[in-house]
Amino acid sequence: MPRKDDTVILEVIEYTDPYCTWCWGSEPVLRRIQEVYGDKIMIKFKMGGLVEDINKFYDPANNIGGENWYRQVAAHWLDASRHHGMPVDEQVFYDIKDEFRSTYPACIAYKSAEFQDEALAKRFLRRMREAAAAERQAIHRLEIQEILAQEVGLAPDQFMEDIKNGKAEGPFREDLQEYRSRGNTGFPTFLIHNFKGIEIILRGYQRFESFESAFQKIAGDTLRPNPIVTDEQSILAFVRKYGKLPKSLTSRRNRQGNG
């Protein structure tokens, strides 16, 4: 929890899962929060474990469950993408339908990354989301996790060892218990709190304005947004920081004749 003497004013915890499409859809919102508020808001991720066993999984809200789960999840991803705007390749579920059992291995992989470096772990989570949603990669597979870990700068040998020896599973189970103890049942779930212990929980996909409203309720005038500059230099700095360029920024650069 943030302390009063810290730069951090609020902490946002996302209870999440690397395979969750609505969590993937929340990525631009979280990046906007990071850019608008900088180090005044700390964003952390805890794994909630979306699917323990696909053979026992049932989601009545989205009609997902049974032997045709992969068709149902693929349709759900497409529908969600139309709402949140992030790209998906739903064919990944047709690829993995005979082997996929659980999202827990991807959650455990994140906790393994966290042992090495929290900032790299966040990059690794983002990379897993990209790989699953947009690149048709099976991120529950250990060999895929190893490749992605190396891509973001993690030490792959240590990363793999912490998964194989069970070290990373313990912290995942702690995250899972915390998530469930709060009565959470859906993803993403956001816990926003300050150093006084005042908190707000936002359940499900949220627009940036919902976060702004929650921030105002908890922090008031103590939390002020940073000025956002959208000139070419700022956009290039954004690309260097995140490695991806939103279409809106690409279009703006092209209109200015810089593309």
Residue 249 has a pLDDT of 40
Q: Which residue is associated with the tokens 């810290």? A: 6
State the total domains in the chain. 2
**198 occurs within a structural domain:** no
| Closest alpha carbon to 13 in 234, 209, 194 | 194
The last residue of one of the domains, among 166, 181, 196, is: 181
Q: Which residue is associated with the tokens 């455990």? A: 108
Q: Where are the alpha helices (DSSP H) in the chain?
A: 21-25, 27-37, 69-84, 92-96, 104-116, 118-134, 142-151, 156-164, 169-181, 208-219, 232-242, 247-255
User: Model confidence over 69-92: pLDDT tens digits?
Assistant: 999 999 999 999 999 999 999 999
**85 occurs within a structural domain:** yes
- On whether both 152 and 243 belong to a single domain, the answer is no
DSSP-based three-state secondary structure for 236: helix
Residues 148 and 46 sit within 8 Å (Cβ to Cβ): no
Burial of 20-33, coded b for 16+ CB within 10 Å and e otherwise, reads bbbbbbbbbbbbeb
Residue 231 has a pLDDT of 60
User: Model confidence over 189-218: pLDDT tens digits?
Assistant: 999 999 899 999 999 999 999 999 999 999
User: Rounded distance, CA 41 to CA 36, Å?
Assistant: 10
**187 occurs within a structural domain:** no
CATH code at position 118:
1.10.472.60
- On whether both 167 and 250 belong to a single domain, the answer is no
> Residue 237 — very low, low, confident or very high, per pLDDT cuts 50/70/90?
low
| Closest alpha carbon to 20 in 56, 55, 46 | 46
pTM, two decimal places: 0.88
- On whether both 176 and 67 belong to a single domain, the answer is yes
Determine the structural domain holding residue 136 and report its residue range: 53-181
Residue type, 90: E
**3 occurs within a structural domain:** no
- On whether both 58 and 176 belong to a single domain, the answer is yes
Residue 195 has a pLDDT of 87
Statement: residue 151 has pLDDT above 80: yes
Q: How far is CA 63 from the centre of its chain?
A: 23
Residue 1 has a pLDDT of 52
- Burial category of 108 from C-beta neighbours within 10 Å (exposed 0-12, middle 13-18, buried 19 and up): buried
